[in-house]
Amino acid sequence: MTMRTKQSCFWCLWILLCGSCVGRFVVEKNNLKITSPKSLRGIYECAIGNFGVPKYGGTMIGSVVYPKSNQNGCRNFDASLSSKPGTFPTFVLVDRGDCYFTLKAWNAQKGGAAAILVADNRIEPLITMDTPEEGNGAKDDDYIEKINIPSALISKSLGDNIKQALSSGAMVNVNLDWREALPHPDERVEYEFWTSSNDECGPKCESEINFVKSFKGAAQLLEQKGFAKFTPHYITWYCPEAFLLSQQCKSQCINNGRYCAPDPELDFKRGYNGRDVVIQNLRQACFFKVANESRKPWQWWDYVTDFSIRCPMRENKYTEECSDQVIKSLGVDLKKVKDCVGDPSANAGNAVLNAEQDAQIGNDDRGDVTILPTLIINNRQYRGKLSRAAVLKAICSGFQETTEPSICLTPDMETNECLQNNGGCWQDKASNITACRDTFRGRVCECPIIQNVQFVGDGYTHCEATGTLRCAINNGGCWKETRGSRSYSACIDGHTKGCKCPPGFRGDGANSCEDVDECKEKLACQCPECQCKNTWGSYECSCSDGLFYARENDMCIGKYAASMAGGGIVWLVILVLGIAGTGVYAFYKYRIQRYMDSEIRAIMAQYMPLDNQPEISSQAHEGV
């Protein structure tokens, strides 16, 4: 038996397992009221599609159009479905079948319809129109995210009746009503999000994490102000006893087969295993438990977003170490989280995961949770796309009327999260530069732009000034020191990044630069006549026997002249010194072009009018 067939058998097993626990799936409905023609007047039920934006808490009036061609809505609509000014918006009616529900809705939206009604093509109870399974319509399914009209499935008989009325020339006016789609019993909304830390499942995982990021600010505000009670949840399965020793259960389960999750890539040999996913999910659940115990349950949103940004699978950072760092940066008790996670290899149950498995089973109003992600608001499964606006609308419709928080009326708000612990973001304490930014989406850790200087980095542990102006801000994050009248900096103007210790120093340039002892390390001033003295950032060298120290050549000049002269005729010495002086002067001219060294000019000015007491010594000078 090859690995492949073994695997597919195992997947049959998963399906069997799930099949036995699928239990009940509740079709969420809203009302469709026909106001005309008279013969059809009445209130009907329709099922809310699991995409687009249902107008939770609201109503929508429209006029039904059944197109003459493209009646299944699988192609672009030729004629515009936009309503003319002064008329009702268009609700396009299409037939079920031939293509995905989402494609019909997308075509309807592009055609200008305000909503789409899909007539079932068989006689059956209403079903929930869902998005295509992963890998099926996945080729170009990014359009699904763009659907923002509401959709409703109606029964075959209602569809037939509407079509008949339209063909006889009647106008069919409809009121779609979502006001009772969610219960709204009191002044607080309870909601749950069933999710997973797995970030390698394609567009579905992406839309899930994008939702968490965009909804974070609203979620935290609602929770902090007491308007909502949020609980995250994680699905796990268990390994049937007969398979406990199989490779499949070992790589996908923890606690001896008690809690399992599917392998992220469905390939046991590659990447992370289901086991890793269960452990990270458990960490997230435990993080919530610990944060909730310290009365800050909303920190879960920070943890989950930060973990997804800092510890993604594709960068091989989906690890305990990375998770630990995120937990620590948020100031949550890591030991408590670890205690809650326990030992994944132990043959024992885990209290948190046991509670999660129990919660998977639904109750009277709510079906069992079998698909991810699932959002449950006031004990009813949310339908529609996972976007901030759509979900906020649904949550807001869960409040008793007139008790909605102001966020339901205005999207603008600040959370002031940077005030605490700097929001867990990077900060340069000395200069008070921070990557924490307060937005209506909650706090984000983004390297800042200050006085046109762009900081670059991950925003959590490190940001670095870049660009040609960067030395003006906080010295570009580089080392800088002043002693007396001397100043040295490791930030080089014109270089767009990095720090480099100046000549005469060594070190990383960012935190420190140490003076190099040129004398001790025998880097300069080593000729027999030389006397070396180290200074901060440089060295001084003097020559014995009245010789002149030429710094560029690191030697005492006049040595050959002195030996040649032998007897010591004064004019010869003067001549030699004159030649040496001219040479040095020529050298100086060459240097001045490059360095404009005023100090050397000063020395030379001293010696050019050669006097009779050539006590030539040279000071070492820094500054180049």
The footprint of ligand NAG (CB under 6 A) covers: 231, 289, 292, 432
Q: Which of 268, 288 has the CB closer to ligand NAG?
A: 288
Residue 294 beta carbon to ligand NAG: minimum distance, rounded to whole angstroms = 9
Q: Which of 289, 480 has the CB closer to ligand NAG?
A: 289
Phi, psi torsion values for 620, nearest 5 degrees: -85, 140
Q: Which of 249, 463 has the CB closer to ligand NAG?
A: 463
Residue 20 beta carbon to ligand NAG: minimum distance, rounded to whole angstroms = 27
Distance CA(339)–CA(347), nearest Å, equals 16
Distance CA(576)–CA(598), nearest Å, equals 25
Q: Which of 224, 231 has the CB closer to ligand NAG?
A: 231
Q: In terms of Cα–Cα distance, which of 88, 104, 107, 109 is closest to 174?
A: 88
Residue 427 beta carbon to ligand NAG: minimum distance, rounded to whole angstroms = 9
Residue 325 beta carbon to ligand NAG: minimum distance, rounded to whole angstroms = 24
Q: Which of 406, 431 has the CB closer to ligand NAG?
A: 431
CA pseudo-torsion sign 180, 185, 190, 194: negative
Q: Which of 432, 613 has the CB closer to ligand NAG?
A: 432
Distance CA(171)–CA(243), nearest Å, equals 62
Q: Which of 47, 375 has the CB closer to ligand NAG?
A: 375
Q: Which of 445, 543 has the CB closer to ligand NAG?
A: 445
Q: Which of 156, 289 has the CB closer to ligand NAG?
A: 289
Distance CA(323)–CA(255), nearest Å, equals 20
CA dihedral 181, 183, 189, 195 (to 10 degrees): -50
Q: In terms of Cα–Cα distance, which of 199, 242, 186, 561 is closest to 398?
A: 186
Residue 291 beta carbon to ligand NAG: minimum distance, rounded to whole angstroms = 9
Q: Which amino acid is residue 177, in one-letter code?
A: D
Tokens standing for 346? 């132990």
Residue 229 beta carbon to ligand NAG: minimum distance, rounded to whole angstroms = 8
Q: Identify the bridge partners of residue 427 per DSSP, sorted by sequence position.
A: 434
Residue 340 beta carbon to ligand NAG: minimum distance, rounded to whole angstroms = 11
Distance CA(329)–CA(443), nearest Å, equals 14
Residues contacting residue 379 through CB under 8 Å, at least 6 positions apart: 183, 190, 363, 365, 366
Distance CA(282)–CA(262), nearest Å, equals 15
Angle at 480 between CA 475 and CA 483, to 5 degrees: 140
Residue 580 beta carbon to ligand NAG: minimum distance, rounded to whole angstroms = 57
CA atoms within 13 A on the CB side of 48: 28
Question: What number of other Cβ atoms are within 10 A of residue 432's Cβ?
Answer: 8
Distance CA(604)–CA(599), nearest Å, equals 9
Residue 231 beta carbon to ligand NAG: minimum distance, rounded to whole angstroms = 5
Q: Which of 251, 292 has the CB closer to ligand NAG?
A: 292
CB-CB contact of 23 with 368 (8 Å): yes
Indicate the SS3 state at residue 304. Answer: helix
Residue with tokens 């909304």: 189
Residue 478 beta carbon to ligand NAG: minimum distance, rounded to whole angstroms = 20
